[in-house]
Amino acid sequence: RMFDAFATQGKKDGTGLGLAMVRRFTDAHGGSVWYEDTPGGGATFVLDIALHTLAPSESLQGITDTSGSDGHKASKN
């Protein structure tokens, strides 16, 4: 029930959408989310999402990274 939309526990301040959105996001990306009880109280939430390496896009071919340490500049060759 914790991952159901509009489910709230304890404080009623929230909308109950946060964890439902996390579940949908992870499901959409082939991952999973769960929680584990934390000794002494509370919970630890775990997200498991696969890392995929994407092939370079043709639209990005010819772009050279000329950035400094701030990473803000790129130029087209």
Considering only residues 73 and 31, tell me which one the structure prediction assigns the higher pLDDT.
31
Query: Is the pTM value of this prediction over 0.75?
Result: no
3-state secondary structure the chain: CCCCCCCCCCCCCCCCCHHHHHHHHHHHCCCEEEEEECCCCCEEEEEECCCCCCCCCHHHCCEEECCCCCCCCEEEC
Flag whether pLDDT at 73 surpasses 60: no
| pLDDT single digits (tens) 14-64 | 666 678 888 888 888 888 988 898 999 888 988 888 877 667 666 666 667
Flag whether pLDDT at 11 surpasses 70: no
